[in-house]
Structure 1
Amino acid sequence: MSKRGDAKKARRKKRQSAARVPAVIMDQLAAIPDGIVADLAEFDERITARGWTFDEEESNDDYAVWFFEPSGAEVADGLPVTSLWLDAAEDGAIVRVVLVGTTAQHPFTHPQLFAHLDAIEAYRDGSPVPDFG
């Protein structure tokens, strides 16, 4: 194998060892087909690289939850931070987003989420809700 291939393999191994989804959650997902678990790990890697944090307290057998700390605010209503989650009942195919200070859920496929992620991350409490049309 080439040096480039070895370097790529080493980076992949390092990323996998630094996975943000705790092993206990990954173990709970073992009953789900391997491809879906691999997709979850890849999703976690992509989203945490952008500054999202895996929420160990809110995640459980049914949901994997992340939040975007830079969006945090003291709010009178709704969530205090923009959050997204994957539902095990949907095999993680739909990403549900709730913006800080709101209660409305915005469902996205994975490609749709990443197409709108800049607007989601830029949103702050009190701003007009982006048009995800």
Structure 2
Amino acid sequence: MSKGSDAKKARRRKRRAARQTRLVPQEMVDGLADIPDAVVADLAEFDQRITARGWTFDEEESNDDYAVWFYEPSGAEVEDGLPVTSLWLDAAEDGAIVRVVFVGSVERYEFTHEELADDGALDVIEGYRVGQPLPRF
């Protein structure tokens, strides 16, 4: 097999494994006891909505301060910036602002949940691939 074929199969296995671990882990949900119920419900709804679109909850990067998701179809080998488009919510802001960094970039974009869902920004974010000009919102 060629290196390209092996890499493709490895990416496919990673995607399949990620599909089975998309939801926010129960341990993290249990740790949200100090956060108002409405915020926890909003986080769960947000997680459900974006994981249904192919985003994966990033257990390694998420912690008590940030909840992080990545969009695996955007992944690429890059010299600078993130290797995959990522978004995160900040617990200090009760997750009110969604921050996005595109694959191969360090530039941060900020959206409200309404802007992300209603204005089609999420479609643009998911459609971006490394090497394209960064979107303007």
Q: TM-score range by the shorter chain?
A: 0.7 to 0.9
Work out the CA distance in 2 between the residues paired with 1:27 and 1:98.
Answer: 28
Candidates 80, 83, 94, aligned match of 1:80: 83
* Structure 1 residue 126, shift from structure 2 partner: 1.0
1:120 equivalenced with 2:92 (yes/no): no
Work out the CA distance in 2 between the residues paired with 1:105 and 1:70.
Answer: 19
Whether the 8 Å contact between 2:22 and 2:56 is mirrored in structure 1 is no
TM-score by length of 1: 0.84
Work out the CA distance in 2 between the residues paired with 1:19 and 1:30.
Answer: 21
Q: What does the per-residue CA deviation read over 1:27-84, in whole Å, with 9 as the maximum and x for residues that have no partner?
A: 1111000000000000000000000000000000000000000000000100000000
Tell me the C-alpha RMSD between the 2 structures: 1.2
Q: What does the per-residue CA deviation read over 1:68-119, in whole Å, with 9 as the maximum and x for residues that have no partner?
A: 0000000010000000000000100000000000001101000111230010
Work out the CA distance in 2 between the residues paired with 1:78 and 1:87.
Answer: 20
Work out the CA distance in 2 between the residues paired with 1:72 and 1:78.
Answer: 11
1:45 equivalenced with 2:54 (yes/no): no
Match of 2:134 in 1: 129
TM-score by length of 2: 0.81
Match of 1:14 in 2: none
Identity of aligned residues (%): 72
* Structure 1 residue 19, shift from structure 2 partner: 7.3
Q: List alignment gaps of at least 5 residues for structure 2.
A: 1-20
Whether the 8 Å contact between 1:84 and 1:98 is mirrored in structure 2 is yes
Whether the 8 Å contact between 2:84 and 2:103 is mirrored in structure 1 is yes
Work out the CA distance in 1 between the residues paired with 2:96 and 2:33.
Answer: 17
Distance 1:19 1:32, change over 3 A: farther
Which amino acid in structure 2 is aligned with residue 121 of structure 1? E
Task: Report the 3-state secondary structure (helix = DSSP H, G, I; strand = E; otherwise coil) of the residue aligned with 1:29.
Answer: coil
Which amino acid in structure 2 is aligned with residue 73 of structure 1? A
Work out the CA distance in 2 between the residues paired with 1:102 and 1:75.
Answer: 9
Whether the 8 Å contact between 2:22 and 2:51 is mirrored in structure 1 is no
